Amino acid sequence: MDYYCITDIGLLREKNQDSYLALYNEHGDFLALVADGIGGGKAGEVASGETIKYFEFAFRESGPFSTLEDVISYLNFHISMVNRHIHDLSKKYKEYEGMGTTLTGIMITSHGTVSINCGDSRVYGFIDDLVVHLTKDHTLVNQMLENREISFTESINHPKKHYLVKAIGVYSEIEADVHKVKDMDYYLICSDGLHSYVSDKEIQQIVVDQNKTVQEKTEDLKDLALLKGGYDNVTVILVKK
């Protein structure tokens, strides 16, 4: 397996509130996560950084897993624990009030692959040159789309496009999406600094290019997000199985 990670502050932001993680534990399981801090000046980078730090420590001590159900239970437990940790920090310190973070990624084990999502960062899968969304955005606009309250065309530039309905640390309890996903040739995990400005088709063209390395593709994705304006922090993890 090959993978590469990159993050960039973008061209307009004063802070990079994105954090990421990609590592193996001693049993050969692989975890890749992207956390995009929310709350503007209210310590979004603290929320994302603490979340990634928590998982780095927990994952190094994890396993071995006996079944895929064990993997899903493990992830749900630790998502709940890190949510409580971030929420407690936001209540304890005034400067952290209202902070939170998205949390999105994959765990690849001998029993299969599981996707994790809370917020509007994304996991894409690529197989046979096709691109598949492996996570669902937890946004108000996506919720309205699913309920047929607005059309797809209306959703594109909706004024509440970035309003989240789920995020780590905002509420005392959280229910994230943790699901088994199909084996793919590539997995892409990214913050909305990529997918809000670079289309699925543009992402697909870069990832399926047979003439570039994983590192080159990851850098090309980041560079295209900057070329499109660099309005947000952008973080990309590309994994080739």
What is the average per-residue pLDDT within 174-198?
97
What is the Cα–Cα distance from 114 to 100, expressed in whole angstroms? 23
Are 32 and 21 a contacting pair, CB within 8 Å? yes
Residues linked to residue 34 through DSSP beta bridges, in sequence order:
20, 104
Tens-digit pLDDT profile for residues 44-101: 999 999 999 999 999 998 989 999 999 999 999 999 999 999 999 999 999 999 899 9
Tens-digit pLDDT profile for residues 153-181: 777 777 767 789 999 999 999 999 999 99
Are 234 and 8 a contacting pair, CB within 8 Å? yes
Per-residue confidence at 143, pLDDT binned at 50, 70, 90? confident
Residue 206 reports pLDDT greater than 80: yes
Q: Classify each residue of 119-148 as buried b or exposed e, where b means 16 or more C-beta atoms within 10 Å of its C-beta.
A: bbbbbbbbeeeebeebbebbbebbbbbeee
Please return the burial class of 12, using the count of CB atoms within 10 Å of its CB with bins 0-12, 13-18 and 19+. Answer: exposed
Per-residue confidence at 106, pLDDT binned at 50, 70, 90? very high
What is the average per-residue pLDDT within 134-156?
80
User: Which CATH number do you get for residue 70?
Assistant: 3.60.40.10
Are 68 and 111 a contacting pair, CB within 8 Å? yes
Q: Domain residues for 58?
A: 2-240
Q: Which two tokens stand for residue 15?
A: 């802070």
Q: Which amino acid is at 200?
A: D
Choice between 140 and 197, residue whose per-residue pLDDT is larger: 197
Res 163: pLDDT = 81
Query: How many domains are contained in the chain?
Result: 1
Residue 40 reports pLDDT greater than 70: no
Choice between 227 and 149, residue whose per-residue pLDDT is larger: 227
Res 124: pLDDT = 98
Are 166 and 176 a contacting pair, CB within 8 Å? yes
